[in-house]
Structures are given as C-alpha cells and as structure tokens.
Homo-oligomer: A and B are copies of this chain.
Amino acid sequence: MNRKPNLKDVAELAGVSAITVSRVLTHPDKVAAKSRLKVEQAIATLGYIRNHAASALASNRSGVLAVIIPSLSNIVFNEVLQGIYSAVKPHQLQVILGDCHYSPLEEEKLIATLLSQAPEGLILTGTDQTDYARKLLQNAGIPVVQLMELTDHPIDINIGFSHFAAGKAMTEHLLARGYRHIGFLGARMDPRTQHRLAGFRKAIEDWNATSRPESLGAEPQSARCEPYVVTTSQSSSIKLGGQLLQAVMAESQGQCDAVFCCNDDLALGALFAARQMNLRIPADLAIAGFNDLEASALVDPGITSVASPRFAMGQQAVDLLMQKASGAQTEFSPIDVGYSIMVRGST
C-alpha cells in the first residue's frame, strides 16, 4: 500500500468502524479501553496521520487561529506572539501568521486570505482596519481581537492601552524634570506612534497653558516649553535614532535638552550618537524611549521608557477569543492593560 493510510485503513486493521477511530482521536474517553488500545496500535503501525482538511470540512472546525501583525522584524510584536503561542497550547490550535507591513490595505488582503481558512478567531494589531476589512470580519462571524491599542468603536474584543496617555505621561515626566526644549523623534509613523506624538503635543500644550496663562502676560522664558518634532516615514532602527537626533539638534539650533523617542530603538541610537557628540546624559540631554526593551535597562545610563504587558496581552487575546468562541459570554468592553513609565538614568 503506497498511499497514505486513512481512517478506514486504521479501522480495518483495528477491527472496528471508522467512526470509532475518529472518536479515539477526539474523545478518547468515550471509547472502551479495549477498542482504544487496538486503535492506538493500528494508528502506530500504519503511521496514520489524520487529514486535517477532511476533519475541518466535516466538523466545521478548522482548529486554526489567524494572527496578523504589522511587522515581523519589530521585537515588540514577537513578545505578543509569544504570549499568543503560550496561550494557544491547551486549545489545540494552529497559528497562521500574517505580516501586513503596517499597511491597512495589505492587512485587508490578508484578512480575506486568512478567512478562507475559516479560523476560529482572528487577532489583529491596532484599530485602523479598512472599512471593507471590518465588513469582512463582521460577516465572518468569528471572534476578533484588536490588540495593543484602545478604541471606542471596537470590531469585537479590544485589548490594549492608550498610547496617547502614555506619550502624554512621558512628556509630563520630562517637563517635571525641568526640561523645556523637548524634541520628539518619530519613525514609521504608524497610528500608535501618532498617538504618542499627539500625547506629547497635548502635554506641552497643557503645560504652556498652565504655566503661562495669557491673562497674566509674559513670564520667564524658562517656564515655557518649546517642542521640536522630527519624524520620518522610514522604518525605525537604532541607526536612524542617531540621525534623527542630529536632525532635531539642527532644527533646534542646539537648544534641545531632551528627546522623547517613539521607541527604544531610536532611543538607543540617540544615546549612542549623543555620546559621540560628547553630550552628558542626562545633564546636557535627556533621552526617553518607548517599549522598554531589555537593552534600555542595561545601557549606561539606562533609558527611561514606557513598559507594557505585551506577553500578557497576547495571552489574554487568546483566552478571551476562546471564551467567546465557546459561547461563554458575548460582550467584552475594551480592556485597558495599562502601561508604566520606567524611570532610569537617562532622564
């Protein structure tokens, strides 16, 4: 016999019916121990492997979880993925992963493609899906998680934190430390990065409004905060951080005394570049980052950064997805997992 063995082959060898073999595979406890043993032996002898396509077709359960991330190269999403994989284990799910390269259009195409696998659920990053994508998902009738970021109008389940609030809080931290010429370094301005920038702007706006109310007239220059924003659509890297630091220094004519980098890669690059410019940190220049990568804590001085529970987010996404898939609950309101500012020597 050359072709791959199927259920029937196993059944014949074991002297039972096909359906009994099927049961051994799915609900072993619903089969008498004696039959089960015979079947298990037959399976081993034949090297039988169940045909997933047939199983999925007949049972209408694909055993697949679809996940779309914006980038494979960004370690941040890896940590989320690890959470997803760890949580998926007990559920007998296979993960099909797509990388949409930060593009909502690519994401839309991927969603269409992945939906053909009839996944049990779908995990997306961010909340900026195209209208058509949202429609696809609504029709699909499967639970969907939008991860990493919060929105008032989630497609379904939403788990994340406010990048606006985090950006604002970090900027307030710099203001509280006395910095008044603060630069924002941004790369690959995806929605979350833009929210961080918006938070940055709001913090400074609030600060200037408070410390220098128009009704009171002029105040000492030092009280007012001067923002410098340098962004690029290039994708983020350590090297780019150094280049952006030079750019902001040029733009501010050397006035800039603190930079808030939209992520830790940029912050590391800024730190390395600042050293070569003989800037003392944090005396001459403060550096703040985002994501709290391992390296940020270990360089000298450590980089102040925003931490968030990425692994846990991934886990929770799967957990809620599976809860919903099993019909336990139908509505979850957006879940804010929060963030925390890790203050280190760089500020």
- Residues of chain A touching chain B, judged by Cβ–Cβ distance below 8 Å, are 4, 47, 49-57, 62, 72-73, 75, 78-79, 81-82, 85, 94-97, 99, 112-118, 135-136, 139-141, 237-239, 242, 268-269, 272, 275-276, 294-295, 298-300
Bound CA–CA A145/B341 (angstroms): 44
Judging by beta carbons under 8 Å apart, are B298 and A269 in contact? Answer: yes
Shortest beta-carbon distance from A251 to chain B in Å = 23
Bound CA–CA A55/B268 (angstroms): 49
Which residues of chain B come closer than 8 Å to A136, judged between CB atoms? 47
Bound CA–CA A118/B113 (angstroms): 18
Shortest beta-carbon distance from A234 to chain B in Å = 14
Judging by beta carbons under 8 Å apart, are B238 and A118 in contact? Answer: no
Judging by beta carbons under 8 Å apart, are A298 and B49 in contact? Answer: no
Judging by beta carbons under 8 Å apart, are B73 and A79 in contact? Answer: yes
Judging by beta carbons under 8 Å apart, are A268 and B295 in contact? Answer: yes
For A56, the closest partner residue in chain B by CB is B53
Which residues of chain B come closer than 8 Å to A238, judged between CB atoms? 294-295, 298
Task: Give 4 A-B pairs besides A73-B82, A78-B78, A239-B298 with Cβ atoms closer than 8 angstroms.
Answer: A52-B53, A53-B53, A54-B57, A268-B295
Judging by beta carbons under 8 Å apart, are B73 and A78 in contact? Answer: yes
Judging by beta carbons under 8 Å apart, are B272 and A118 in contact? Answer: no
Bound CA–CA A134/B107 (angstroms): 36
Judging by beta carbons under 8 Å apart, are A53 and B62 in contact? Answer: yes
Judging by beta carbons under 8 Å apart, are A53 and B298 in contact? Answer: no
Which residues of chain B come closer than 8 Å to A54, judged between CB atoms? 53, 57
Judging by beta carbons under 8 Å apart, are B294 and A275 in contact? Answer: no
Which residues of chain B come closer than 8 Å to A81, judged between CB atoms? 72
Judging by beta carbons under 8 Å apart, are A242 and B298 in contact? Answer: yes
Shortest beta-carbon distance from A173 to chain B in Å = 24
